[in-house]
Amino acid sequence: MSKHSLPPGVVSGKDYLTLLKSCKEGGYALPAVNVVGTDSINAVMEAAAKNNADVILQLSNGGAEFYAGKGMKDGFQAKVLGAVSAAKHVHLLAAHYGICVVLHTDHANKKLVPWVEALLDHGEVFYKETGKPLFTSHMLDLSEEDIDFNLSECARLLKRMVKIDMSIEIELGVTGGEEDGVGSDEIDNDKLYTQPEDCLKAYEILAPIGHFSLAASFGNVHGVYKPGNVKLRPEILKNAQELVQKTKNTGENPLDLVFHGGSGSEKAQIEQALGCGVFKMNIDTDTQFAFAQGVGKFVLANEKAFKYQIDPENGTPYKKFYDPRKWLREGETAMIARLDEAFADLKSAGKSLALKKSDVMAA
């Protein structure tokens, strides 16, 4: 049994910090998987349980909207209620998978600040009812704005979040690539790399208020590009950690760093990032592709079942092939296989802090 342990289920507040500490001390990180519905959510929890690992589930505003249903007329309301609904699904089920789950929302730029604030309205109600926040943390990505605005806005929301045991994730420097409308074309190269001085500034402003994690740009991009197009420079993370440690007289790796755009990264560079205090690596593109491949393979192998309920030539009924449980499950199992790889790359397999039934009985 590891020296830290936690009750299984959604973690927040002090328990979340325990989980982070365990990651950084143990030199491993948790995959943060973007989900869009119960299929992907359940696949991620199943993969975590299979690997005896803890995991981060996150929704983008688009993912949340999809969760509520594309047919909902009020798109803003769908983004809010979809996220709330997904979070409640996870609160109900996570403990039964026997693992710890961090619940998080992904990128929110200036236009989406009202989305985060609406989620906090719901989070405050949930906290009153249960003593727990709805989400472990929300991300505010104001990296396209100037840094003073970015940090003052993060500080304003963090003040509200700490009252309900929440954390914030912020971004400094712009991570390139396509994800919910953040493009990389017109950004000059300097901006792809976060400056250590800016990380120090963030630490000085936010650490006195509450807990924050930091998505720093070190050449990472969203999505998958041709090999060689991504030049990761994890030494940038190291420099930021060292500057904060030296200036603020902290322990080693004081910043809790997040690696955005983890899909398609080389294994050696992932390993290097792990040594620099990265506890979370976002993965979306690769798990999307895995899900699609699983479904696609099945459809191509059983083409007739997707055209006819009953074979027009020999009368074979195809119900057991077109039943959505059949082909959606193919997507889920392919996604789980890709996540097996992620847990191995991030060294988090076998490291779940969740108390097992057998531990409770032995104690």
Report the interface residues with Zn ion, using CB under 5 A. 260
In the structure, how many helices (H) and strands (E) does the chain have? 13, 11
- Name the residue nearer to Zn ion (CB basis): 132 or 260: 260
CB of 142 closer than 8 Å to CB of 109: yes
Name the one residue in this structure whose structure tokens are 């994690």: 213
* CB-based contacts of 328, cutoff 8 Å, min separation 6: 39, 295
Tokens of 234: 């994890």
Least distance CB 6 / Zn ion (angstroms): 26
- Name the residue nearer to Zn ion (CB basis): 119 or 353: 119
- Name the residue nearer to Zn ion (CB basis): 23 or 283: 283
Which H or E run contains 8?
Answer: none
- Give residue number: closest CB to Zn ion: 260
Q: Please report which residue ranges of the chain form alpha helices under DSSP H.
A: 13-26, 38-50, 61-68, 75-97, 113-130, 147-162, 196-206, 235-248, 267-274, 285-301, 319-322, 324-345, 357-362
Q: Given 3-state DSSP classes, what are the helix, strand and coil percentages for the chain, each rounded to the nearest 5?
A: 50, 15, 35
Radius of gyration of the chain (CA): 21
Least distance CB 273 / Zn ion (angstroms): 14
Least distance CB 326 / Zn ion (angstroms): 33
- Name the residue nearer to Zn ion (CB basis): 79 or 260: 260
d(CA 18, CA 8): 13
> What's the angle, vertex CA 288, arms to CA 89 and CA 282, rounded to 5?
75
- Name the residue nearer to Zn ion (CB basis): 260 or 351: 260
Name the one residue in this structure whose structure tokens are 């099945």: 298
Question: What residues act catalytically?
Answer: 106
